[in-house]
C-alpha cells in the first residue's frame, strides 16, 4: 500500500548525512502549495546547524504562501483584509477600518477561530454594542468591518457564506416626535422677544 501524501505545507522526516570532516547535510521532502513534493536541503558545519538551517528554510517556505484555515483567528484574517484595503483604498479608509478593529472588534471577537464564528455569535456581539451605548451609525461601521474581514474567509473557501449577512439589521433608536402646542407655535413664529 502506498504511503499517503504529505499534507500541503508540511515536510517529511529530516535525514542528516556527514559529507566530509567539516560539512553536514540535512534534507527532507516538502509538499508545496501547488501540491508538488520537492526535496529541500541545507548544509552546515555541524549536524545541529544543518538541521537548524533546514528548519528555517521550511519555515520560510510555509510563510511565503501561508493559507488561511478555519483554525485561524479572526484577528489573523483581519490582518489579511487590512492588507488588501491598504493596497486598494484611500489611506483614510484604511485608518477608519484599522481604528474600528483595534478599538472595538478585536477585543471582543479577535480571538475566535473562524470555525467558531456564527450568526448567533455575531448577533450577540452587535446586541452588546447597542447595550453599551454605541450609536447605530458606529455599529454599522463595525458591521462593515466584520463583514469585510469574513468575506476574505469566504473567498478562501473557509466559510460557505458570510454570516454577517444574516445578522439583524442595525437600526437607530426610535425618537418620539410630537406636534407643537398652539402656545409653542405662537412663540416660534413670534421670534425673539
pLDDT exceeds cutoff 70 at 93: yes
Exposed/middle/buried for 107, CB within 10 Å: 0-12, 13-18, 19+? exposed
pLDDT exceeds cutoff 60 at 162: yes
- pLDDT, mean over the chain: 87
Q: What is the pTM of this model?
A: 0.58
pLDDT tens per residue, range 170-183: 887 666 778 888 88
Angle value at C-alpha 69, between 152 and 7, nearest 5 degrees: 140
| Closest of 119, 107, 169 to residue 139, by C-alpha | 169
Contact 25, 11 (CB under 8 A): no
Amino acid at each position: 500500500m502506498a504511503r499517503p501524501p504529505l499534507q500541503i505545507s508540511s515536510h517529511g522526516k529530516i535525514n542528516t548525512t556527514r559529507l566530509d570532516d567539516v560539512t553536514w547535510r540535512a534534507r527532507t521532502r516538502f509538499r508545496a502549495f501547488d501540491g508538488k513534493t520537492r526535496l529541500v536541503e541545507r548544509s552546515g558545519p555541524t549536524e545541529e546547524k544543518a538541521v537548524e538551517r533546514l528548519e528555517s528554510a521550511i519555515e520560510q517556505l510555509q510563510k511565503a504562501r501561508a493559507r488561511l484555515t478555519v483554525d485561524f483567528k479572526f484577528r489573523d484574517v483581519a490582518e489579511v483584509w487590512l492588507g488588501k484595503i491598504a493596497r486598494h483604498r484611500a489611506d483614510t479608509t484604511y485608518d477608519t477600518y484599522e481604528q474600528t478593529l483595534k478599538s472595538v472588534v478585536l477585543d471582543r471577537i479577535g480571538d475566535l477561530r473562524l470555525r467558531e464564528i456564527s450568526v448567533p455569535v455575531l448577533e450577540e456581539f452587535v446586541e452588546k454594542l447597542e447595550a453599551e451605548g454605541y450609536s447605530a451609525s458606529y455599529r454599522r461601521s463595525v458591521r462593515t468591518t466584520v463583514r469585510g474581514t469574513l468575506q476574505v474567509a469566504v473567498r478562501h473557501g473557509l466559510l460557505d457564506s458570510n454570516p454577517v449577512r444574516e445578522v439583524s439589521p442595525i437600526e437607530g433608536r426610535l425618537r418620539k416626535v410630537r406636534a407643537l402646542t398652539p402656545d409653542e407655535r405662537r412663540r416660534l413664529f413670534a421670534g425673539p422677544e
